[in-house]
Amino acid sequence: MKKQGYKLFKSTNLQSAKYIFLILVFFAGSFALARPNKLGRFMTTFYYVINEKSFFLADEVPVKDVQGGTIAMVSVEFKKAMDIEGTGILRDGRTVNYAQRIEGEIRYRVSSAKWGWGVGQCKLIPYKTIAVDPKVIPLGTRVFIPEAKGALLPDGTKHDGIFYAEDMGSAIKDYHVDLFSKEGMESSAPYESVGIHSSGYVDILKISDPDPKGCHTKDPLNLRSVKFPFLGKMLEKLKIEADEYARLRKPTELRRALRMINDLRANLELEPQADLSSLIMQVSAPDINEVNGSTLGDHEVVLTFDDGPHNTFTPAILDLLEKQNQKATFFEVGEMVKAHPQNTRLVAGHGQMLGNHSYSHPQLTKIPIADVKKQIQMTQRIIVESLGGSSEFNKYYEFFFHRPLFAPEFMRSPYGSRNDQTMQVISDLGFLHVMWNVDSLDWKDPSPQGIEDRVFNQLETVGRHGVILFHDIHPQTVGAIGLILPRLQREGYRIVSLLELAKTPIPRIR
């Protein structure tokens, strides 16, 4: 009996030991699988949604869908910002986000999700989504960022440090991640409160692999199956065109073709065609950073006003332009902006463009080159300050475009006086220089009728197109504009914005 009891006890213990062993193995394996696996140290930036309501109304450009249709007309500055961030909220409340790049232009789709979608059909979740390079972190991977744990979120909860990897436009490369926050640059505050900063670094650990049936595996627009058959042929065609533009010494067209080639190669997941840039250097283009109206089409004109803003005449001209629904560019002098900042704000508020016309209106070719730079930079700063751009957008714009928010992109030298040295400074500061080929001479002609006749006589002489020079500091100019605007319309002229004339500002090439 004792022997049998011993055998039973021994058998029971052996079975228990086996079960205990299996349980330990199971938990050990589970722990090993659950334990985060370090993927590396990554540079961080922030990604957030841009709201159109935060931008001034100005010259409008279309936001296009994949088929080329117009989703909405938006301000130029908002479109630039959205092209970088990839997602925006329109004035009518719709959310649009990146869909595809076609012929160098970013195309969008209207999103039913409040914060937009990733490249697949994954909704972007504030403080939970990060943009990654799929070659480094597969899309859909669940990751842990220790530095983010404990960050106080807007809803009062604390971050658990867990994120989901997504692709929001193929802009993120290598060991770099974009942490999605919410709306506006200030929404990144929870990250910064725990020491995560733009251009800083964090450790990233993998928690789990992607779900093979997850949303990140879907391609809602079926883009890949559509684009690959013809992109290769288009790429070869563009290469042939680039060679031809180089032969014909057409730098603007050549630069545009090169950009399109590299965009296509990015779509095909190929390396950039860097060697093509050598073609650019074969083209001598001393005046490539200047426009003067000679490239405008038949019966196309650009209206420009120098030397303001004036406290009386600038508002009067703005009213005339508004009544005719026309666009113009005002090249302002820094001293005048300082004296009448409210009128610079008025120009911007009317949706008209601003240009830099130096600080004290000297002849730039007769002052030291260091002073040329100061004249331009002082004016730029005063214009920006007069517009009162919010600190959020000033930081955003300066970070990405290396110039302050709402700052003019165009420069005109006083008296049109420039040489190679001053043009180099203008180009180095990032401006496109604007000359004229129709001079109203309004500053010395007291007769509005005489100014009108002179403008139309010169237009006939130069081929019925051009950049027209006026000055918004003389009473006769107000009267002349009242005559010229309706006559331009009667004679079939189209007034285009300076942005349309200079669709792709090209830096000076040496």
Q: How far apart are CA 49 and CA 187, in angstroms?
A: 10
Q: How far apart are CA 508 and CA 38, in angstroms?
A: 46
Q: Select from 491, 452, 479 the least CA-distant residue to 468.
A: 452
Q: 3-state DSSP call for residue 142?
A: strand
Q: How far apart are CA 86 and CA 70, in angstroms?
A: 17
The stretches of 309-466 forming alpha helices (DSSP H) are 313-324, 334-339, 341-349, 369-387, 391-401, 420-428, 448-462
Q: How far apart are CA 235 and CA 238, in angstroms?
A: 5
Q: How far apart are CA 105 and CA 84, in angstroms?
A: 12
Q: How far apart are CA 319 and CA 14, in angstroms?
A: 97
Amino acid at 469: L
Per annotation, catalytic residue among 159, 340, 357, 471: 471
SS3 per-residue string spanning 394-434: HHHHHHHHCCCCCCCCEECCHHHCCCHHHHHHHHHCCCEEE
Would you say the C-alpha torsion 138, 164, 172, 229 has a positive or negative sign? positive
Q: How far apart are CA 272 and CA 199, in angstroms?
A: 24
Q: How far apart are CA 122 and CA 259, in angstroms?
A: 30
Per annotation, catalytic residue among 178, 306, 445, 472: 306
Q: Residue 27's beta-bridge partner residues?
A: none
Q: Are 427 and 417 in contact (CB under 8 A)?
A: no
- Tokens at 315, concatenated: 């508002």
Residue that has been written with the tokens 């950049």 in this structure = 467
Would you say the C-alpha torsion 236, 242, 244, 246 has a positive or negative sign? negative
Indicate if 471 belongs to the active site. Answer: yes
CA atoms within 13 A on the CB side of 400: 17
Catalytic center residues = 306, 471
